[in-house]
C-alpha cells in the first residue's frame, strides 16, 4: 500500500514526465506553477447540500481519479459548484480550474466546455496522450 507521501512523489514525477517536450525539454515554468498550485491548493473543494443540487460522479479507472461534483443552478446559471475526491496532479488541477470557470456560466455555456477550453485553462496547447483522460475528466460533467 502506498502512503500519502508516496502518492505525492509519484504524482509530481508523473506531472513532470507528462510535459516532456522534444524541443525544449520541459513546458514553461509558469504553466507548471498553475497546475501545481491547483493540485496543492485546489479550489471549490467540498460538497453542496440543500435543494436543487445536481450530483455527478466522475471516474478515470486508468489513473484511479475519482471525483464527486455537486452544483447548484439558479436562474439558468451555475450559482455554486463544489467537488471532492482524489486524483493525480493533472486531474485535480483540471477539476479545480474547471470548477472556477463554470461558476456563473449558463448551462448552455457550460455545455460548451471542451478539450480546447480545458487545455487553455491549464495553460497548455497540448498534453501527452497518456494524460488526456486525466486532463479531460471534467468533460464527463455533461
Q: What is the pLDDT of residues 94-133, one digit of tens each?
A: 999 999 999 999 999 999 999 999 999 999 999 999 999 9
Which residue in 27, 88, 118, 134 is the catalytic one?
134
Give Cα 22 to chain centroid, integer Å. Answer: 25
What's the Cα-to-Cα distance from 104 to each of 44, 74, 77, 100, rounded to whole Å?
A: 13, 9, 6, 9
Task: Write out pLDDT tens, residues 39-80.
Answer: 999 999 999 998 889 999 999 998 899 999 999 999 999 999
Distance, CA of 31 to CA of 130 (rounded, Å): 18
**Structural domains counted in the chain:** 1
User: Among this protein's residues, is 88 annotated catalytic?
Assistant: no
CATH of the domain at 35: 3.90.1010.10
Residue 44 DSSP code: S
User: Among this protein's residues, is 134 annotated catalytic?
Assistant: yes
pLDDT score for 32: 84
- Name the residue range of residue 14's domain: 4-141
Which residue in 27, 35, 58, 63 is the catalytic one?
63
pLDDT score for 30: 54
Amino acid at each position: 500500500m502506498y502512503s500519502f507521501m508516496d502518492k505525492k512523489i509519484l504524482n509530481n514525477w508523473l506531472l513532470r514526465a507528462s510535459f516532456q517536450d522534444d524541443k525544449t525539454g520541459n513546458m514553461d515554468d509558469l504553466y507548471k506553477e498553475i497546475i501545481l498550485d491547483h493540485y496543492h491548493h485546489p479550489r471549490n473543494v467540498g460538497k453542496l447540500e440543500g435543494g436543487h443540487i445536481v450530483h455527478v460522479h466522475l471516474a478515470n479507472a486508468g489513473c484511479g481519479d475519482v471525483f464527486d461534483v455537486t452544483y447548484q443552478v439558479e436562474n439558468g446559471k451555475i450559482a455554486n459548484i463544489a467537488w471532492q475526491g482524489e486524483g493525480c496532479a493533472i486531474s485535480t488541477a483540471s477539476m479545480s480550474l474547471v470548477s472556477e470557470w463554470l461558476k456563473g456560466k449558463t448551462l448552455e455555456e457550460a455545455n460548451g466546455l471542451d478539450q480546447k477550453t480545458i487545455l487553455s485553462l491549464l495553460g497548455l496547447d497540448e498534453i501527452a496522450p497518456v494524460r488526456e483522460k486525466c486532463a479531460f475528466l471534467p468533460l464527463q460533467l455533461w
